[in-house]
Structure 1
Amino acid sequence: MSDRADTAGDLAPAAAAFPKHYRLLKTDEFSSVFGFRRALRSRHFLLHYRRRDSTEAPGARLGLVVAKRFLRRSVDRNLVRRLVRERFRLLRARLRSCDLVMRLAVKPLPLDRRDLAHEIEGLLSKMMSTDR
């Protein structure tokens, strides 16, 4: 067995998972968040959000919009998606019941993983502080 497999086994599977009930999948779900018209802006992203009632499923759900016009290469679009999902997974336990749509609004040049990750985390943290 490789060392990589050993370290991956140390993580709790539930903590690293991103199951379907934490995702926005349908057009209606995205439309309801966009229609609520609550958004926070950072340098490259817009975070649209909508609080959900306690009668609906608990926990935060995430939807992603990464347009091809900002990042032509699918590798770059997928990198941004992975960064957003990872930050969401790390902060999900602290988020209230809400639907979030993270949208890339400006072409990031240069494409720096560390800066984008900090920007995403800062935007989610800002949403948590304004949501109280």
Structure 2
Amino acid sequence: MTNLAFPKKLRLLTCNDFFFVFKKPQCVYSSQIIIFGRINKLKYPRIGLTIAKKYVKLAHERNRIKRLIRENFRLNKYRLPSMDFIVVAKKGIASLENGILLKKLEKLWLRHYQLFHRH
């Protein structure tokens, strides 16, 4: 049975974790989301989020977006390569409905999967 938990080890927590990804990232993006990824030496994927107040003014909207991204990552982690991912929200993400945001994330995870398996 697949373990769908979301323990702390699956999160990017330190500045060094984020700097590692931003040094040489693979990027996939849509008009409202960018996902940077970099292969890690662990046997599992990890995720970090950046949702700027500049693009999502209200705290409850930022929390909604973060919750949806984390949940989507949690459900897809078994399909993702062993990479560190940083999801960056862009202008217009707050206006997306939950279902549309989840569909965009699914497409972006799939693109990362395809890029990883091309190499």
TM normalised by structure 1 equals 0.82
The corresponding residue for 2:82 is 97
CA shift for structure 1 position 105: 1.9
Q: Gaps spanning 5+ residues in structure 2: where?
A: none
User: For 1:117 and 1:101, how far apart are their aligned partners in 2?
Assistant: 16
* 1:119 paired to 2:104: yes
- Point out 4+ residue stretches in structure 1 off by more than 6 angstroms: none
Could you tell me which of 50, 54, 57 is aligned with 2:38? Answer: 50
Q: Per-residue displacement from partner, 1:75-116 (whole Å, max 9, x unpaired)? A: 000111011111111110111211000000222362311111
The answer for the alignment partner of 1:7 in structure 2 is none
Q: How many residue pairs end up in the alignment?
A: 116
Query: What CA distance in whole angstroms lies between the structure 1 residues aligned with 2:104 and 2:31?
Result: 8
Q: What runs of 5+ residues in structure 1 fail to find an aligned partner?
A: 1-11
Distance 2:77 2:86 in 1: 14
Partner of 1:38: 26
1:120 to partner: Cα distance: 0.9
Question: Is the counterpart of residue 26 in structure 1 residue 9 in structure 2?
Answer: no
Select which of 47, 62, 67 maps to 1:82.
67
Q: How high is the sequence identity, in percent, across the aligned residues?
A: 29
User: Corresponding residue for 1:6?
Assistant: none
CA distance in structure 1 between the aligned counterparts of 2:26 and 2:80, rounded to whole angstroms: 16
**Normalising by the residue count of structure 2, what TM-score does the alignment of the two structures yield?**
0.90
| Gap change, CA 1:109 and 1:21, over 3 Å in 2 | closer
Distance 2:37 2:80 in 1: 11
Task: From the CA coordinates, give the structure whose radius of gyration is larger.
Answer: 1
Distance change >3 Å, CA 94–CA 109, structure 1 → 2: closer
